[in-house]
Each structure stands twice: as C-alpha cells, then as structure tokens.
Amino acid sequence: MEDIVLINITGPDRPGLNACFAGILARYNVRVLDIGQSVIHEHISLGILAAIPCKKDFSAVFKDMLFEGYQLGLKVDIRPVVPDSYENGSMPRARSAGSSLYWGRPSVPVRSRPYHRSALNRD
C-alpha cells in the first residue's frame, strides 16, 4: 500500500534544489506522480505529488525532507492526499486559459490581456 502526499517546497532558489530533494525521494523508492515548479524573482515554489511505498518510511522521508529544507533555508510542507481523490481524477489539474495558467476548477474563466503586436516585434 502506498501513501500519497503533496510536498510543497518554497524559498530562495539556487542550483541543484530539484536534484537534492529528488535524491531524498529516490533513497526511499518514492514514486513521483507529478511535479511542477515556478521561480519568480529568485524565489522557488516546487510541488511534488508522490507515492510513498509503505507507512513505516513516511516518517523517515518527512524527517529528511524537513531537515534538508531547514539547512537550505526553505519551507517544506508535506500533506497527505486522500487516495480516492487522486485515483478518481478529482485532483486539481493545470488548465490553460489564454496565456494564463491556473489550478483547479474555476467558476469563471480567467483570461490575460493579449499582447499588442507592436510589443512582440522587437527588431
């Protein structure tokens, strides 16, 4: 049986962060189901949806992820995901609306202002 968790890592970006946390997950044979990141003004927001193979490893993975985050000055948040919500496809998915990207099931479509052609023609 696997435990599905959502891992959110935020803080100052630096080279090697993905490899560092992926290495911890690999050490425990954690299966990465989905991953996404955004970096804005040298601040990273990294999300990893992962399946941890057995309950006894959960605390060790949690401890190692938190410790590594602490050493790097990052906030690490790990939350369990209800298996039914993932297996039934009711987890929020990325959706595109024009040139904007948003998560979940919006009630009103979000559209960004289109670029004017003159802004794109830079000779």
The count of domains in the chain is 1
6 three-state secondary structure: strand
8 Å CB contact between 97 and 111: yes
Q: CATH number for the domain including 42? A: 3.30.70.260
Query: Can you give the pLDDT at residue 87?
Result: 62
- Nearest CA to 21 among 30, 12, 82? 30
| Residue 115 within any structural domain of the chain | no
Please list the pLDDT of the chain residue by residue as tens digits (123 residues): 788 899 999 999 999 999 999 999 999 999 999 999 999 999 999 999 999 887 666 788 899 999 999 999 999 999 988 877 666 555 555 443 443 444 444 444 444 444 444 444 444
